[in-house]
Amino acid sequence: MTASLLSFYIFSTVILLSSLMVITSKNPVHSVLFLILTFFNGAGLFIILHAEFLAMILIIVYVGAVAVLFLFVVMMLDFKISLDKNNILQYLPIGFFVGVVFISELIIVLINTKFDLSNIQILVNPMIKFENLTNTEAIGSILYTDYILYFQLSGIILLVAMIGSIVLTLRTREGVKRQSIQSQLDRNYKSTITMVDPKSNEGVDI
């Protein structure tokens, strides 16, 4: 057993177990921590495939940003997921049935497919012109040229996501007093201070 095969089995076992824990653990903080473990092992799988760029991106983006954000939200909201046993039992049969159908389909495919190893080289390395580059260079050289359309459209999707989250959450309340630096700076002593000469027993007009 080669080292890469061994590490493949280790990583994928940990992924399966920890993703199972994500959905079954009662404490949401534990769920998020298991999610982070899943991401780390996924990055390990990418490294086995010689996709070190994707591995690093996965860790930076998903672990560094997304999962930590989840963790913040979970900790701040302080909600408890109650796992209702009845609920699980109610949906278990249909879920089990669908899962069995799924798995047996996949097994049938696996049995009936003759893996053509002459083709595998193209599948693993579809872009022959990048054979001697590191994959960071390879991604960089097509992302802004051949894949420019997808790249820009993904940007538009993010823009829509931003507009959507602002539209759904922003509330403008009436009567909120805000600091207006401009009007504060515009004030000078001439417009705010008046000199009066009050007489005794008469007071002043304001």
Partner 1 sequence: MGVFTIILPEIFLFLSSTLLLVVGLFYKRVNIINLLTFSILILAAVLVFYQPSSFGFNNSFVNDEFSKTIKMLILIGSASTLLMFSPSRRKINIDIYEFPILISFASLGMMVMVSSNDLLSMFIGLELQSLSLYVLASLNRNSLQSSESGIKYFILGALSSGLLLFGISYIYGFTGNTNFNLISATYDKNSLGLLIGIVFVCSGLAFKISAVPFHMWTPDVYQGAPTPVTGFFALAPKIAAVAIFLRFLYSSFGETAADWQQIIIFLSIASMIFAAFAAIAQSNIKRLMAYSSIGHVGYILIGMACFNFEGVQSLIIYLILYLVMNLSVFSFILMMKRKDEYCENINDLSGLYKHNPFYAILIALSMFSLAGIPPLAGFFGKFYIFMSAIKSDFYLLAVVGIVASVVSAFYYLRIVKIIYFDEPSEKFDEFNSSSLNLLFFISSGIVILFFVYPSPILNMGNYAAKTFF
Q: How far is the CB of 196 from partner 1 (least distance, A)?
A: 42
Judged by CB, which is closer to partner 1: 88, or 163? 163
Among 34, 119, 173, 194, binds partner 1 (CB under 8 A): 119
The reply on whether position 112 binds partner 1 by CB under 8 A is: yes
The reply on whether position 68 binds partner 1 by CB under 8 A is: no
- Treating both helix axes as pointing N-terminal to C-terminal, what angle do 68-77 and 28-48 enclose, rounded to 10 degrees? 170
Judged by CB, which is closer to partner 1: 16, or 159? 159
Among 126, 175, 198, 203, binds partner 1 (CB under 8 A): 126
Task: Answer whether 45's CB lies under 8 Å from 7's CB.
Answer: no
Judged by CB, which is closer to partner 1: 76, or 109? 109
The 167-186 site mask, x for binding partner 1 (CB under 8 A), equals: xx------------------
Q: State phi, psi for 60 to the nearest 5 degrees.
A: -65, -50
Look up tokens 């909600």; give the residue: 79
State how far the Cα of 30 lies from the Cα of 68, in Å rounded to an integer.
Answer: 13
The reply on whether position 118 binds partner 1 by CB under 8 A is: no
The reply on whether position 113 binds partner 1 by CB under 8 A is: yes
The reply on whether position 143 binds partner 1 by CB under 8 A is: no
Give the residue ranges of DSSP H helices in the chain.
3-24, 28-48, 52-57, 68-77, 85-112, 117-124, 135-143, 148-169, 181-186, 189-192
Nearest alpha carbon to residue 71 among 42, 35, 19: 35
Contacts 24+ apart (CB under 8 A), 20-27: 24/83, 26/80, 26/81, 26/83
Look up tokens 């899962």; give the residue: 99
Among 87, 99, 105, 107, binds partner 1 (CB under 8 A): 105
The reply on whether position 164 binds partner 1 by CB under 8 A is: yes
Judged by CB, which is closer to partner 1: 105, or 137? 105
Residues forming contacts to partner 1 in the complex (CB under 8 A) are 105-106, 108-109, 112-113, 119, 122-123, 126, 146, 148-150, 153-154, 156-157, 159-161, 163-164, 167-168
